[in-house]
Amino acid sequence: MDYQVHESAIVDDGAQIGAGSRIWHFVHVCAGAIIGESVSLGQNVFIGNKVTIGDNCKIQNNVSVYDNVHLEEGVFCGPSMVFTNVYNPRSLIERKSEYRDTLVKKGATLGANCTIVCGCTVGKYAFVGAGAVVNKDVPDYALIVGVPAKQIGWMSEFGEQLDLPLEGSGETLCPQTGQKYVLNGTRLIKDEE
């Protein structure tokens, strides 16, 4: 075994876990889960059967990653943030056939206590503020906050807020790395020159 599992954790037979991953106290990883390399699963995390987690993700304490949630490389899930997989749940009605996919793209941050309503895509390097409720797709590099979540700015890959309007045109540099970002309409891209 080339990953670490705390003695209180349960990892069901069949779960695929990459090298260097760490599974802490009271975690449950279901049999169908696919977890990449160097992933950290904090205390009291649940990982469902139909879940994929990319390399270098960090899932903090008290997060449940339910079926049909997919995290690309380098996603940060803050403490007690919430995923869902049924849009209109009822205890008395079976809706497993209605699960909606949720995709969180490379490098995104999901702040503490935020909620990602199923069926949404969170763009690469997006930043969801603590306590936000995401009920629609989030653009790449967007900074969103509130209930329901609304975009208030842009973030660099380093995690610094960028000095750009929400839409229009312009360019700026990340204050930490000097990387250049270009705004075109409502789309921000990192300039790879």
**Residue pLDDT, tens place only, 86-111:** 999 999 999 999 999 999 999 999 99
Query: Considering the entire predicted model, what is its pTM?
Result: 0.96
* DSSP H/E element including 46: strand 46-47
Return mean pLDDT, the chain: 97
Token pair for residue 108?
């995104």
Alpha-helical (H) ranges within 7-90 are none
Question: 3-class SS at 11?
Answer: strand
Would the pLDDT of 152 be above 80?
yes
Would you say 48 and 63 are in contact if contact means Cβ atoms under 8 Å apart?
no
Q: How many CB atoms lie within 10 A of CB 152?
A: 13
Would the pLDDT of 192 be above 90?
no
DSSP annotation of 1: -
CATH of domain 4-162: 2.160.10.10
**Mean pLDDT, to the nearest integer, of 129-135?**
98
Q: How far apart are CA 71 and CA 137, in angstroms?
A: 15
Would the pLDDT of 193 be above 70?
no
